């Protein structure tokens, strides 16, 4: 829950964020490196990017042959993502939705989220989107690490709840339904004069005999 000192991360927050003139005019950024690293060996199928923002990761998946649903709470974010997608736009379904309440009538072979800041507690959000993974499918979570210093927002806009370790996230997924494939923290630079990023990456697969809940 938001307090006077922390943002609510609701639709109004994200609309304002993506309508910011400097951010709206910024050049497209490259997809984070974990998406290609963690999905390169997976068979292509359907995918959803939950909280797609400007669309870099959804676009990368579409370029690699995935049939992608790019979902975000902000229409301004989706407009920027569509503009960034260019020729790949035809291979992407755009979905404006509040993912903290959205209840899809389908599942995907790959459910992915990258640095999403939902209006509900972070770990609750991950458990929520895990239900969207088809039997035999994959869930990929890229989150802010504990030593986080990210360029997307000022540090004061990042409450502790959005910063998670790999153990925090991996502990949500237990056998026999889930198998943890990757769980690690990594720091990286995104360019001279910009802060290093502290990232947490977790990839899990769902058992093929899982019954849809």
46-50: strand order across its sheet: 92-96, 67-72, 46-50, 108-114, 133-144, 197-206, 178-188
Q: 91 and 65 in contact (C-beta within 8 Å)?
A: no
Tell me how far apart the alpha carbons of residues 164 and 162 are, in angstroms, rounded to a whole number: 6
d(CA 142, CA 114): 5
Question: In which band, very low, low, confident or very high, does the pLDDT at 38 lie, cut at 50, 70 and 90?
Answer: very high
Q: For position 149, what pLDDT does the model report?
A: 42
Quick one: pLDDT at residue 162? 67
pTM of the full predicted structure?
A: 0.83
Structure confidence by residue, pLDDT tens digits, 142-192: 998 876 444 443 334 455 566 789 999 999 999 999 999 999 999 887 655
Distance CA 110, CA 132 (A): 9
Token pair for 53: 């923002």
pLDDT for res 159? 52
Distances (CA, A) of 110 to 46, 139, 162, 188: 6, 6, 22, 25
Q: CA-CA-CA-CA torsion for 28, 81, 166, 8, nearest 10 degrees? A: 110
């Amino acid at each position: 829950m938001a307090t006077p000192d922390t943002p609510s991360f609701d639709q109004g927050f994200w609309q304002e964020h993506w309508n910011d003139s400097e951010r709206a005019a910024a050049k497209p950024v490259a997809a984070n490196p974990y998406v290609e690293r963690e999905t390169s060996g997976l068979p292509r199928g359907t995918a959803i990017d939950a909280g797609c923002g400007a669309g870099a990761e959804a676009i990368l998946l579409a370029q690699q042959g995935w049939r992608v649903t790019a979902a975000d709470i902000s229409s301004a974010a989706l407009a920027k993502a569509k503009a960034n997608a260019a020729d790949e736009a035809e291979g992407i379904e755009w979905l404006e939705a509040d993912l903290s309440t959205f209840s899809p009538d389908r599942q995907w072979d790959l459910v992915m989220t990258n640095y999403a800041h939902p209006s509900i507690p972070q770990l609750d959000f991950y458990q929520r989107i895990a239900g969207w993974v088809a039997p035999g499918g994959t869930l990929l979570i890229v989150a802010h690490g504990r030593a986080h210093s990210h360029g997307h927002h000022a540090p004061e806009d990042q409450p502790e709840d959005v910063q998670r370790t790999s153990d925090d996230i991996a502990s949500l997924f237990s056998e026999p339904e889930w198998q943890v494939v990757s769980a690690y923290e990594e720091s990286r630079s995104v360019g001279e004069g910009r802060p290093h990023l502290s990232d947490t990456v977790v990839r899990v697969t769902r058992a093929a005999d899982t019954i849809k809940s």
